[in-house]
Structure 1
Amino acid sequence: MKITLASVFVNDQDKALAFYTDVLGFVKKNDVPIGEHKWLTVVSPQALDGVELVLEPSDHPAVAPFKQALVADGIPFTSFAVEDVAAEYERLSSLGVRFTQPPTDMGPVTTAVFDDTCGNLIQIAAMR
């Protein structure tokens, strides 16, 4: 068994696609219209056949309170691995990304948390 898909709930799929590709550097894998929404996935440019991140519409009534509670408590919805948190923090900050937590030493890992502009906090992390 292996993980092939993971999801992040977004309030605007087109805005999310622009942020996740143009700013974060992911690559669009699938963009299939399905009614008013799309089956929209991105992948890491280092793993084009790897795990796909679904940019999932957040229309379900349970999603908004869930996302709001996570953001209010400062809890990231998901985490992405990076080689160097400080360097990625500088790169993303220069592109206008708003961080809610700067690079922080957490023992064996360094983390930072940013707002994905689509209602989520996302963590970046690097092991030492």
Structure 2
Amino acid sequence: MRIKLNSIVVDDQDKALKFYTEVLGFRKKHDLPVGVYRWITVVSAEGPDDLELVLEPNANPAAQTYQKALFDQGIPLTAFEVDDLAAEVRRLKGLGVAFTQEPTPVGAVSIAVFSDTCGNLIQLYQPT
């Protein structure tokens, strides 16, 4: 059993695709129509091409409630590993990304948290 696909709910697929590719630097892998929505996946430019993140529309009321509850409580929906947290935070701030938590050492990692502009908080972490 392998993890090949993971989803993140977003409030706007177009805005999410732009943010995840143009700001975070992921590459679009799939963008296919599925009814009124799209099947959009992105992959890391630095990682394996077979690990995909789905930019899933939050059209389901349960997804909207879950997404809002996590955001309101300051809980990141997912986390991405980086090699140099301080440099990545500087780069993203230079692109206008709003951080809700500055780089902070927590046990065996340092973390920072930002808003993805699509209804989610995302954690970046660097192993120490």
TM-score when scaled to structure 2? 0.97
The gaps in structure 2 that reach 5 residues or longer are none
Partner of 2:93: 93
Partner of 2:54: 54
The CA distance in 2 between the partners of 1:46 and 1:12, in whole Å, is 25
Partner of 2:66: 66
Partner of 1:44: 44
Contact 1:27 1:45 in 2 (8 A): yes
Partner of 1:108: 108
Q: Deviations over 1:5-55 (max 9, x none)?
A: 000000110100000000000000000011111110000012352310000
TM-score when scaled to structure 1? 0.97
Partner of 2:6: 6
The CA distance in 2 between the partners of 1:48 and 1:41, in whole Å, is 13
Runs of 4+ in 1 over 3 A off after TM superposition: none
The gaps in structure 1 that reach 5 residues or longer are none
Amino acid paired to 1:86: A
Which secondary structure does the structure 2 equivalent of 1:62 belong to? helix
Amino acid paired to 2:113: V
Aligned residues: 128
Alignment partner of 1:34 is 2:45: no
Identical amino acids, percent of aligned pairs: 56
The CA distance in 1 between the partners of 2:45 and 2:80, in whole Å, is 13
Q: Displacement, 1:58?
A: 0.3
Amino acid paired to 1:82: V
Two-structure CA RMSD over aligned residues (Å): 0.8
Contact 1:44 1:50 in 2 (8 A): no
Amino acid paired to 2:123: Q
